[in-house]
Structure 1
């Protein structure tokens, strides 16, 4: 707190609303650009030296691939460099969403072009040079697989959640010291129903699912036992964890039991927590890879059985796949750019949290500031003598509320009762 003229004012807070892995994502995107750029040069030079127009054409296609990645990389770089610029009232966290929206539009246009060209070739078949086309398609697939691997990096299980971070203790994760080394227990709910995850920090060590369990004890005395199954590298509870996530837990590992305490913390869910800039880059390379697979299959069948229509048919299917992925990306990023409610579940929980002791939530604005960062304006009507700090403390469990403005309206209980 700072004081001006004897009055206390809150200190100016940060408006940096970038994702936790922003710089790592930026480095990975630039790495993919170098890969695509190198492959583009090799294909164009090789095509010119060996007189292959198909190789040159694929090299030019690779340049558009690198261009799409460049858009994502520049968005990461610009957002990082200008994160503290006061001209951006709510930071630069949405720049990735803008880049994702732009990439989705480009993908939709590519889908239309592929579809148009495929239908044209279906109506008027053209000769196919299989000896050149198939190796180029295989090469393109290899580059796309390598690009997807570089971009995905340490994101496991398809939920965009990294397990390479240093373990820490907070409301959702606890480190437990055992005789065989430290173990982490966390409540994992990133895009999936909430479950316990138990993992040894000791290199090469694996826990036994049969020798582990968790018993939760809630404030009302209710108890529940959770069993585990091996997920390869970590254990995951078979049963889902009911809300709220506030309870004492007895963690059994072998013959020992370790007590821990979980507090209720809530994070952004679904689209509100995603890095849509990285998602757009991944969708681009995955769409390209999917088209490459379809093209390879179509070319092989066309060469083996003379089915020249298989090549354009593969193009039409690929165009539909790309259009489907791009439409989903346009929908999600467009909603963020228009400040639509990014997390209805959190909005409902905010309302319950405010109104659980008789107060009324008069108005609520919830919007996304960046990946995993939400802004909220909360207006509360109360007949009690409560001020802003009381409600700020009540909402502290919502970890994703990075920018919170609270308005408190005091009402006369006798007046409100007479009106009712």
Structure 2
């Protein structure tokens, strides 16, 4: 017998799978485009007025830079405006990955062009106008630094993953004497309970302790010690941090429930659209630094080959970043498993009570959002809601379909 989710999924949950801070990232990208656009116009107009072909060339180069950022901004805007469009079966969260993949291709082409031009200049050197070239390179570096600052302020780019499990770690407990706060503190140290009085009299270690009761009935008593301003448990709290905690203050018991939630690991939270925009800016800044160094050495020692050599090094750096973007975004667009650790944890959660996970599909829907389809074989009278409850701690599963196959 097969049981699955046959009802219309849209009736139960949203299909908006945009990353955290999507609108903020969108506005920052547009701000950088305006900055690059103003710089581009100033360079082209100034070059034409003062007869500087180098200034015009750098302005045209800035136009390609602004064009790549425009791609990222349009992806943000389109994804936001069409987030509720039912034509997108799994939402528009992947649009940023598509834009990142396209930007990576553009970066690869830029790397090839820089490399080709640099190699050509080694065999056929051209005169270098140091008086114009150095200030222009410095000005480009300033613009790139400003662009990187604009893109990086006010938030993160999801380039990190939640490599740890996220816990419901703080509880405010109202007592007859005042408010008490119970925390699980594990900031770079083994996890321990911390207890302090927010209002009312100070707590004493002799009259306070914590007892945990886990789902399997196991109990553990935690004796507290005074740490000056708060009480801390002497013993560490073993994983997992899912239990009922009883705070004993004298003869009075105050309960608190701790639940454990697991997020995606690795790059599943990464905003590849913002990552591509930042890579464009940093790549341009890196090339500007290399060009400045090459020009200064060429001018000081007559090493004209330093300028094209700096171009070759810059093209290799850009090609390396481009490859990383193509690899990561391509994997997402092809629906590769974005988080093997979560896949293993899903399997353990299903099979820990004797059931068998016959099939599992795990893919990324957008930054911080994963989709999963599970096929479970069981001999027990369990339906899909049972497994949904068991998997509720996986907070990154924004779209879950469970198929139950009952075996005799």
Q: TM-score range by the shorter chain?
A: 0.7 to 0.9
Match of 2:271 among 252, 271, 275: 275
Cα distance in structure 2, aligned partners of 1:291 and 1:385: 64
After superposition, the Cα gap between the structure-2 partners of 1:109 and 1:224, relative to the gap in structure 1 and judged at 3 Å, is farther
Q: Matched residue pairs, number? A: 358
Cα distance in structure 2, aligned partners of 1:410 and 1:330: 42
Structure 1 residue 124: deviation in Å? 1.7
Structure 2 partner of 1:395: 391
Report whether the alignment pairs 1:360 with 2:382: no
1:315-347 CA-partner distances (Å, limit 9, x unpaired):
111111101111011000000000010110100
Indicate conservation of the 8 Å contact 1:341/1:366, yes or no. yes
Task: Give the structure with higher Rg (CA).
Answer: 2
Structure 1 residue 242: deviation in Å? 7.8
Structure 2 partner of 1:409: 405
Structure 1 residue 269: deviation in Å? 1.8
Q: Note the residue ranges of structure 1 that are not aligned, 5 or more in a row.
A: 1-6, 162-169, 197-214, 226-239, 252-257, 413-420
Cα distance in structure 2, aligned partners of 1:121 and 1:397: 59
Structure 1 partner of 2:61: 61
Structure 1 residue 127: deviation in Å? 1.2
Q: Per the alignment, in what secondary structure is the counterpart of residue 376 of structure 1?
A: strand
Moved more, 370-379 or 9-18: 9-18
Cα distance in structure 1, aligned partners of 2:312 and 2:211: 53
Q: TM-score normalised to the size of structure 1?
A: 0.77
Q: Per the alignment, in what secondary structure is the counterpart of residue 304 of structure 2?
A: coil
Structure 1 residue 157: deviation in Å? 11
Structure 1 residue 223: deviation in Å? 9.2
Structure 2 partner of 1:152: 152
Larger relative CO (CA 8 A, sep 6+): 1 or 2? Answer: 2
Q: Note the residue ranges of structure 2 that are not aligned, 5 or more in a row.
A: 1-5, 192-209, 224-235, 248-253
Match of 1:376 among 353, 368, 372: 372
Q: TM-score normalised to the size of structure 2?
A: 0.79
Structure 1 residue 109: deviation in Å? 0.6
1:84-143 CA-partner distances (Å, limit 9, x unpaired):
111101111100000000000000110011111111111222111111111111111111
Cα distance in structure 1, aligned partners of 2:88 and 2:289: 43
After superposition, the Cα gap between the structure-2 partners of 1:9 and 1:313, relative to the gap in structure 1 and judged at 3 Å, is closer
Structure 2 partner of 1:335: 331
Indicate conservation of the 8 Å contact 1:361/1:380, yes or no. yes
Indicate conservation of the 8 Å contact 1:245/1:265, yes or no. no
1:381-409 CA-partner distances (Å, limit 9, x unpaired):
00110111000000000001111000001
1:39-66 CA-partner distances (Å, limit 9, x unpaired):
0011111111111100010001111111
Structure 2 partner of 1:138: 138
Structure 2 partner of 1:33: 33
Moved more, 334-343 or 263-272: 263-272
Cα distance in structure 2, aligned partners of 1:311 and 1:218: 69
